[in-house]
Structure 1
């Protein structure tokens, strides 16, 4: 009996260590933190993906806290989708994946009053034969909603560089056109001069200029 207890304890320890390793390999993907009034905003939350050979029960809960307020439950996914409260009712949409690795939601027609802190809580219970470990994951998203989109500095620099490039290409094209025009004009002048010189040669000299034909 003691040996069986030790085996069970060792198995439980291995399971806990395995789950801990699985939690460590999660890749954290940052969510956008700025939105524009009236747009659709995706609150990105990535959770550890369960191994395919191990079943697990997953519960996803989303909370919202206004500045200076307290957390209030706004969304829950546990085999079915549920919305809570009046603030976001009818404006929340599940935007996650079927394998429950992506447990994101989207806020539709976002307003200025939706600024605040959003919390994504993921509780995953693994169904092993000798142990049922529970792994939790939590993520905070501090969202700011603006009345209109602000001009991004990178976009501004890109536009400036584009205009500079257009001006440079325009000047280069003009220079090439002037160069080609002058080159063609000089060629025409040279051709005219050669024709004038040829016409100025007497007829006898023109005959002497003929290339002799060898028999």
Structure 2
């Protein structure tokens, strides 16, 4: 029969197991950026979260490219099959690198030295086979990225608004500081004038009456 002491020894272990269970990593599917700058690198983000992380799975990834006005013609530019990376011959040869995670929930790629002709539609296709004890289940997901290539970086509206608010706040703080300085200066000047008048009045008193007179001190 378990005693109270035995229960107290098991409680920390049970809490630790529960803590580990609740602290499993969380996958969030974040959309990729769509604007690139010519001559710079661009990460084509593709995140496909597994619904059940405790189930083992085989993941294959294929990246396709469709140029602007390509009439729906797609070409395979990158694939990850059975743990092997393959880069078919295309205009991106030597400029595509894998940027995915080990758990293959993030299967992004990086496009180096972007050119104007790289604009178009990129399609990330993820084929995942979940392996259960009695059967297997295949899941396919597809993500499209319409890439725009600019000659120079365009400023985001949010960043512009943040910069404007920063300048407004800076101007307000500067004005407030100036008002405080003027207020303190006037207060000190007024105190000095009162003190000077008190000293002048004291000096004007005949010497025989100074023994019974004291200079008023302003609190």
Give TM class, smaller chain. 0.7 to 0.9
Secondary structure of 1:133's aligned partner: strand
Give the corresponding residue for 2:148.
144
In structure 2, do the counterparts of structure 1 residues 162 and 126 end up closer, same or farther at CA, with 3 Å as the change threshold?
Answer: closer
TM-score normalised to the size of structure 1?
0.78
Does the CA-based 8 Å contact 1:42-1:104 persist in structure 2? yes
* Mapped partners of 1:200, 1:187: distance in 2: 20
Instruction: Report the CA distance shift for 1:207/1:55 in structure 2 as closer, same or farther (over 3 A).
Output: closer
How many Å separate the matches in 2 of 1:137 and 1:208?
99
Pairing partner for 1:76 from 79, 93, 102: 79
RMSD: 2.0
Which ranges of structure 2 fall in alignment gaps of 5 or more residues? 1-26, 215-219
Q: TM-score, normalised by structure 2?
A: 0.77
- Matches for 1:1-215 after TM superposition, within 5 Å: 28-49=29-50, 51=52, 53-69=54-70, 70-78=73-81, 79-209=83-213
Question: Cα distance, 1:110 vs. partner?
Answer: 1.2
Shift of 1:164: 2.2
Q: What is the CA–CA distance in structure 1 between the aligned matches of 2:39 and 2:50, rounded to whole Å?
A: 33
- Confirm or deny: 8 A CA contact 1:49 1:99 kept in the other structure: no
User: 1:8: which partner in 2?
Assistant: none
Q: Is the 8 A contact 1:49 1:100 kept in 2?
A: no
Give the whole-Å Cα distance in 1 for the aligned partners of 2:151 and 2:49.
35
Q: How many residues are treated as equivalent by the alignment?
A: 185
Q: Aligned with 2:159: secondary structure?
A: helix
In the alignment, the residues of structure 2 paired with residue 133 and residue 157 of structure 1 have an alpha-carbon distance, to the nearest angstrom, of: 48
Contact 2:29 2:49 in 1 (8 A): no
Q: Distance in 2 between matches of 1:129 and 1:186?
A: 89
Unaligned runs of 5+ in 1: 1-25, 211-215
Contact 2:57/2:131 (<8 A) preserved: yes
Q: Which structure has the larger Rg?
A: 1
Pairwise CA distance, 1:130: 3.3
